[in-house]
Amino acid sequence: MTEKLYEGKAKILYTTDDPDILLTHFKDDATAFNAQKRGTIVEKGKMNCQITVALFQWLESKGIPTHLIKQSADDKILVKRVKIIPIEVVVRNIAAGSLCRQTGLEEGSKLPFPLVEFYFKNDELGDPLLTRDRLLILELATEEQLKQLQNLALSINQHLQEFFASCQITLVDFKLEFGLDKQGKVLLADEISPDTCRLWDQTEKDPQKRVMDKDRFRRDLGKVETAYQQVQKRVLEQLGSAKKGL
């Protein structure tokens, strides 16, 4: 028996016969600015699903524990059910988006070291930036888990930066979600896709043309589908050659 457990902005979670396994369906719906802007991106569900599977497989091969079990359809994956830690972990390599708005850093400036930030995953509050002490006071994670999130995020950043560089894509920043499995182990969950990353095409210098992620939708830059398709193509080709050991 399967039933709808949760419908979010980009995905629907279903239960399966196994209480420890959930089915994730990636939707074509797109939202931005805390769902104030809504639309659809043609075939986004399939593209984000394929991209997430490829990147999670790559990360697993590097020793990062993830919730991915297997892909079950073009736009569906089976995952280990976890208790999501309500923190959005953001890693930034280059200044963009809210970091520029809040600090005055110029968009595109390279940060001297990867910046790991924690945001409260709470739509009603607008996902505010947390401090370490706020996070502990709210009991969103323990000190030990916080350390693990920080280390995992930095390690994931290393591996993803390397992977995207081989696709001639610059990984500007991205958002991760983690969860705890039945044993209390921290697993990388949710998705990694052009919805959740800023990706710049290294073969394009123009600051608008180089955008390959959801900023095309947010900022009405057009050619959203083409950009997602390009990311999918390059990621799958790269994973293919990595698997062959080329």
Residue numbers at the binding site for ligand ADP (CB under 6 A): 6, 8-11, 13, 22, 67, 79-82, 84, 177, 179, 189-190
Assign residue 129 a region: left if phi > 0, alpha if psi is -120 to 50, beta otherwise?
beta
Q: Please tell me the number of Cα atoms within 13 Å of 164 on its side-chain side.
A: 28
Do 99 and 115 form a contact (C-beta atoms < 8 A)? yes
Q: Among 34, 36, 10, which residue's Cα sits nearest to residue 191?
A: 10
CA atoms of 194 and 62, how far apart (whole Å)? 21
Length of the chain (residues): 246
CB of 109 to ligand ADP, least distance (A): 29
Structure token pair of residue 191: 């998705």
Q: Which residue lies nearer to ligand ADP by CB, 4 or 147?
A: 4
Q: Which residue lies nearer to ligand ADP by CB, 27 or 62?
A: 27
Enumerate residues 6+ apart whose C-beta is below 8 A from 123: 34, 35
Q: Which residue lies nearer to ligand ADP by CB, 13 or 64?
A: 13
CB of 177 to ligand ADP, least distance (A): 5
CB of 86 to ligand ADP, least distance (A): 8
CB of 21 to ligand ADP, least distance (A): 9
Q: Which residue lies nearer to ligand ADP by CB, 122 or 229?
A: 122
CB of 175 to ligand ADP, least distance (A): 10
Going along 53-109, which residue ranges are E strands? Answer: 68-73, 76-80, 83-84, 87-94
Q: Which residue lies nearer to ligand ADP by CB, 25 or 210?
A: 25
Do 17 and 33 form a contact (C-beta atoms < 8 A)? no
Helices (H), 40-197: 44-61, 98-103, 132-137, 143-166
Other beta carbons within 10 angstroms of residue 103's beta carbon come to: 9
CB of 160 to ligand ADP, least distance (A): 18
Q: Which residue lies nearer to ligand ADP by CB, 111 or 138?
A: 138
Instruction: With residue 214 as reference, give the H or E element that holds it.
Output: none
CB of 8 to ligand ADP, least distance (A): 2
Q: Which residue lies nearer to ligand ADP by CB, 170 or 196?
A: 196
